[in-house]
Structure formats: structure tokens, C-alpha cells
Amino acid sequence: MIGAIAGDVIGSIFEHYAIKSTQFPLFSPYSRFTDDTVLTVAIADSILRKVDYAASLKTFGQKYPNAGYGGSFFRWIYAGDSEPYNSWGNGSAMRVSPVGFAFNSVKDVLHEARESAKVTHNHPEGIKGAQATALAVLLARSGKSKATIKQEISDRFAYNLNRTLDEIRPDYGFNVSCQGSVPEAIIAFLEAKNFEDAIRNAISLGGDSDTIACIAGGIAQAYYQDIPSKIVSNVRKRLPEEFLFIIDEFNTKYG
């Protein structure tokens, strides 16, 4: 899942300063992890400890309250109950990559992706975005071709993956919906030549950059199974020890 986290960290400085090019420095002194990373780690820890998804998301959310959560999620982590709030936002997709790495059948991945999403994002589009992302990770790490991944996701979720980045980029803006960002993240992966290329493609769309790159990065890691060491080291040095411990334990068990 370090691929998803790398996308978040690299995309963090472009979230509100859109860039419409793939040519940019990967890291700056201001590159940091955001809510995408916190909640990805929370899902991984939930899987490792067999803890309820909602409980884990609340625990990590409260421990890192300044990570940049949306207003509804921020209120939810401090609410006395854990009722979902019918969100169709891309938060369900940004945090789901550990599900695609940890479970080995389509049935299990779709089930767990739904479970991880519905604690907050119980809107059909929120669940669909999480399932599409997790399934893409599973198919990618299972050695399926990009053509197969594209066809499977298109057929199952009715996402239009026939567009190109060059067609999307000029008019694409900040969009936090699953339906308006998950297909674009998958296309960024489909057009990539390697892991770094997938991250650059995602950020070049100029939208919710850290989240789109997080989604694309998780899929790209699963597919290429190789992340340049310079990216891994630059990401790891920006993470708390607690996150590194969970990431390494998760990789040991599911890598």
C-alpha cells in the first residue's frame, strides 16, 4: 500500500494548486501525508488486527485530526454513534487499497470493499468507487493485463474508461466524487508506462490531486510490483513511526 501513500504525499502540494502537466518535481519541503494516508493505514490496521473498520477509522482520525478531512468525516470521527452519512465522495476509494492486497478472491474483495466504505460512504456511488478501486488492485496484482482490468471494471461498474488523459485534462477540475475521480485515476494507471508515470499522469489532471494519485498509485504498485527506491525513501521519511510499523507488518503478511 506504499504506492497509494506515495501518490498522496506526492500529490499533496498540488491539491489546491492544479498542474496540467506531467513535468514537476516529485517532492518538495512541503510534501506531506494527508487524510488519504491516515485512513489507508487505518484500513490496513483494521485488517491486521481484525478490528471493526469504523472503530479503526475513528481511532486514527482522532489521533491525526489535522490531516485534512472533509467536514462530514471530521464530524463523524467525533460523533457519539457511527452512523454513515450517505457520502458519494472519493474518501471511500482513497483508503481501500489494503483490501485489494489482503484478500484473494473477487467475492471477498468486493465484500470487504463494501464493508470498509459503508461505515461512512453508504451511498451507492461511494461503495462503487471503493469496490472498483479494490478490484483493480486485486486484478493488477494477480497478473491481469491492462486490457482485462479495463474491461472488467468497465463492465462491472459502468465507468467510462475509453477516454484518454489528453481528452480529460483540459476541462477537468476539482472533483471529490467517486464517479468524478475514480475512473480518471484508473485511466491514469492504464496510460502509464511505470509506477512513477501513473502518479504523474494522475496529478497532471489537475483535480483532487493527492486522492487521484493515491488511487492510481495503489493500482500501479499492484501491477508493476516495483516502486523506485528514491520514491519509497522520500515517502517513508515523511511518515510517523507508527505508520511505518503498520506498513511493514502489512507488507510482511500480505506482500
Place 241 in a pLDDT band, splitting at 50, 70 and 90: very high
Residue 130's Cβ-count burial label (10 Å; 0-12, 13-18, 19+) is buried
In CATH, what number does 2-249 get?
A: 1.10.4080.10
* CB contact at 8 A, 91 and 215: no
pLDDT at 17: 87
Helix then strand then coil, % of the chain, to nearest 5: 65, 0, 35
Q: Averaged over 131-155, what is the pLDDT?
A: 98
Separation CA 55–CA 160 (nearest Å): 34
| Predicted TM-score of the model (pTM) | 0.97
The grid coordinates of residue 4 equal: 497509494
Q: Return the half-sphere exposure (C-beta side, CA atoms, 13 A cut-off) of residue 140.
A: 30
The grid coordinates of residue 25 equal: 518535481
Alpha carbon 34 to its chain centroid, in Å, reads: 12
Residue ranges per structural domain of the chain: 2-249
Residue with cell 497509494: 4
Over the stretch 37-47, which tens digit does the pLDDT of each residue have? 999 999 999 99
Over the stretch 172-228, which tens digit does the pLDDT of each residue have? 999 999 999 999 999 999 999 999 999 999 999 998 999 999 999 999 999 999 999
Over the stretch 59-117, which tens digit does the pLDDT of each residue have? 999 999 999 999 999 999 999 888 999 999 999 999 999 999 999 999 999 999 999 99
Strand ranges (E), 50-188 = none
Burial per residue of 135-147, b for 16 or more beta-carbon CB atoms within 10 angstroms, e otherwise = bbbbbbbeebeee
Cα 215-3-70 angle, rounded to 5 deg: 45
* Per-residue pLDDT at 1 exceeds 90: no
The grid coordinates of residue 196 equal: 512513477
pLDDT at 16: 83
58: region left, alpha or beta (phi > 0 left; psi from -120 to 50 alpha): alpha
Q: Distances in Å between the alpha carbon of 223 and those of 3, 116, 124, 133, 151?
A: 11, 22, 27, 13, 16
* Per-residue pLDDT at 130 exceeds 90: yes
Residue with cell 508506462: 193
pLDDT at 21: 96
The overall average pLDDT reported for the chain is: 97
Q: Which amino acid is at 85?
A: Y
Place 255 in a pLDDT band, splitting at 50, 70 and 90: confident
Question: What percent of the chain is modeled with pLDDT above 70?
Answer: 100
Over the stretch 149-171, which tens digit does the pLDDT of each residue have? 999 999 999 999 999 999 999 99
